[in-house]
Amino acid sequence: MTPTKLARLISVAKGELPADLVLTNARVVNVFTGEIESGNVAICGDRIAGIGDYNQAKQVLDLRGRYLAPGLINGHTHLESSMLDVGQYAKAVVPRGTLAMVTDLHEIANVCGLEGIRYMLGGARRLPLKLFLMAPSCVPATPLETSGASLEPEDIRRLLRWQGCIGLGEVMNFPGVLGGDVGVLSKISLAKGKVVDGHAPGVTGKDLTAYIAAGIYSDHESVYLDEAREKLSQGMYVMIREGSSEKNLDALLPLVTDKTYKRYFFVVDDRSCVDLLRDGDIDAVVRKAISRGLDPVRAIQMATINTADYFGLDKLGAIAPGYFANLVVIEELSSLQIDMVFYRGRLVVREGKPLFPSYQGGGKGLANTVNIKPFNKEALRIFPSGETEPVIEIVPGQIITRKKIEKIKILDGVVVPDIDRDILKAVVVERHKATGNIGLGLVTGFGLKRGALASSIAHDSHNIVAVGTNDDDIFATVKEIEKLNGGLVVAADGKVLASLALPIAGLLSDEPLEVVVSKLEELERLTVDLGTTLSSPFAALSFLALPVIPEIRLTDLGLVDVNEFKLIK
């Protein structure tokens, strides 16, 4: 802030000059005291000048006793998982009160490297949504898969110097940390003095102690109460995650008490465009926490000031003098029904409708990222190594999986899906460098009775992942994704039933929010017709290839035992 602007802010705060805007008759949520205070809020430019008996302003807006809360902050999310271009993402979340987000953009970085990060940051600059970058620490996440790009320590050094880069993104390669991997530790060392986010699913005991000792003080992967309690007791901030396929709020909320609440904040990690439009973003997590008995003001604290304090987000997360005027007007706290949204003093949402342009970026420079070596259906055959094989078990509502050893069905010398026992074929096709790598395995939990589904969203390297009841349909879905240059596909009886094109890096649509949501809902409806029992089948599919979440995964290189951190087939 320039000295001239600062002087004017001071004068407005003192009541010597009129404010640009005064919001009168507000019930202000004070996140410092945990109380509701009645008063008027004076705004000067993009800042809050004061709260009190201010009345003189160029514009006065009477809130008529409605609640006024700080703009919500999403403390850890991968916006690419929404499948929306940046402008359309803002159209979905800003009306829900999310005005700042922390992300490492490692999804698009795994496909397009620094160019992908630049694209996303560039698009966000024109929006009423502040994007805080965490330099992605794990591109690729592990050497157990093939990614489209790689960010080395020197790239991280450059990123950490970028404006708006506030730290190092989730250190997913926890085996690398515990094993003293020089590359991983070099990246952590480069972030000295900045926040380093963690990713430690199921890590306990002295391994957890060692991981924290490396300088990593947050985690969003806690699934169980005792797991989160141990991390809290050793000094970690615990992110309570509630995404589309990662739902941990019910398990972890009992840990939030008067003594501990400042060490917790809400995140979504991955949330689909359908959930964003129909249910919400961080507001949905706050609303659910309130419905589970958490005090509404405390829930708002965990979506605002707690997040801002952990990341050191200057002048965000509260309604106080000198803070940015990021504000949400709420009819009722319990339902968190948001009526108006102000971003840096400017009204950007009224009656839930965005007042800002939701541009289409297009992402022309990030097209043509699907590069598959030609293959035929015979390449999808699995040859048995015995009467039993490892099977990936999907855990509903979570992204962890379980490793099962099951008796398999063999026909004409090859392993075939056992539909009656819900043992289906899983396939991961490398799509960046035309290596010809195809990972093959078995999965249970999808419940398909016929057909197949496939996606070019496959965390974190984003090769093509497919699950199906037969090779013909699996092959059809993969070929359609190749034709679309990325997307989601459902097929049955050898024919494509529906698709959603994702031409921007194979991750994002170039269509409007409502169109993307409509197409995804149609795809999910079709998967139900094919027999799936999962509420978010494409979200579950996207995590099938993530070799940093226990217990077992499938990448383009083969089956990965995550606990052993090695390929097993």
Packed helices 114-124 and 86-93: angle between N→C axes, nearest 10 degrees:
50
Tell me the per-residue pLDDT of 331-387, one tens digit each, with 9 for 90 and over.
999 999 999 999 999 999 999 999 998 766 667 779 899 999 999 999 999 999 899
* Residue 179 burial (CB count, 10 A): 11
Q: What is the largest CA-CA distance in the chain?
A: 88
Q: CA-CA distance, 496 to 205, in Å (whole number)?
A: 49
> How many Å is the Cα radius of gyration of the chain?
24
pLDDT at 563 over 90: no
pTM: 0.93
CA distances from 350 to 25, 328, 393, 517 (A): 18, 10, 45, 22
Q: Average of pLDDT values for 401-416?
A: 95
**Which residue blocks in 204-335 are alpha helix, DSSP H?**
205-213, 225-233, 249-252, 273-278, 282-291, 296-301, 305-311
Instruction: Give buried/exposed letters for 146-177 (b at 16+ CB in 10 A, else e).
Output: bbbbebebebbeebbeeeebbbbbbbbbbbbb
Residue 503: helix, strand or coil by DSSP? coil
The bridge status of strand 423-429 relative to strand 464-468 is antiparallel
**CB neighbour list of residue 445: distance below 8 Å, 6 or more residues apart:** 392, 393, 394, 395, 396, 422, 533, 534, 540
Q: CA-CA distance, 171 to 219, in Å (whole number)?
A: 10
Question: What pLDDT is recorded for position 358?
Answer: 78
Q: Is the distance from CB of 342 to CB of 354 less than 8 angstroms?
A: no
pLDDT at 261 over 70: yes
Peptide bond into 482 cis (omega under 30): no
Nearest in space to 124 (alpha carbons), one of 61, 60, 77: 77
Tell me the per-residue pLDDT of 126-166, one tens digit each, with 9 for 90 and over.
899 999 999 999 899 888 999 999 999 999 999 999 999 99
DSSP state of 509: -
Domains of the chain: 3-65 (2.30.40.10), 74-282 (3.20.20.140), 366-567 (no CATH)
Question: What pLDDT is recorded for position 362?
Answer: 66
**CB neighbour list of residue 544: distance below 8 Å, 6 or more residues apart:** 392, 394, 401, 426, 428, 443, 458, 465, 467, 553, 554
